[in-house]
Amino acid sequence: MTHSGGKKHNVGYVRQRFEVRVFDEDSKEEIVVGWSNSESSANSWAASLDARPGWRDGRVIDLFATATTE
């Protein structure tokens, strides 16, 4: 039994600015690990991900950055 009585948990992006990703060597793809509103927290988190076996290249994506095309 979950603390929510089996209902889906309200977790995820929820308009947070920074997305933390890592490359998973088992699946051979980049996966989203989580989100943060603090850039320094997201960068610290991404840097620490390399300590987990099978994960490498932790990085932070600024979801509010505007993409420009030339």
Q: Note the pTM of the prediction, 2 decimals.
A: 0.74
Question: Between the CA of residue 6 and those of 9, 13, 34, what are the distances in Å?
Answer: 9, 21, 22
The reported pLDDT for the residue numbered 50 is: 86
Q: What are phi and psi of 10, to 5 degrees?
A: -90, 75
Which residues does 53 contact at the CB level (< 8 Å), separation at least 6? none
Higher pLDDT, 5 or 54: 54
The reported pLDDT for the residue numbered 15 is: 82
Cα–Cα distance measured from residue 53 to residue 27, given in angstroms and rounded to the nearest whole number: 13
- Give the rounded distance of the alpha carbon of 31 from its chain centre: 8
Higher pLDDT, 67 or 24: 24
pLDDT in tens, 2-41: 455 666 656 666 789 999 999 999 999 999 999 999 999 9
The reported pLDDT for the residue numbered 32 is: 94
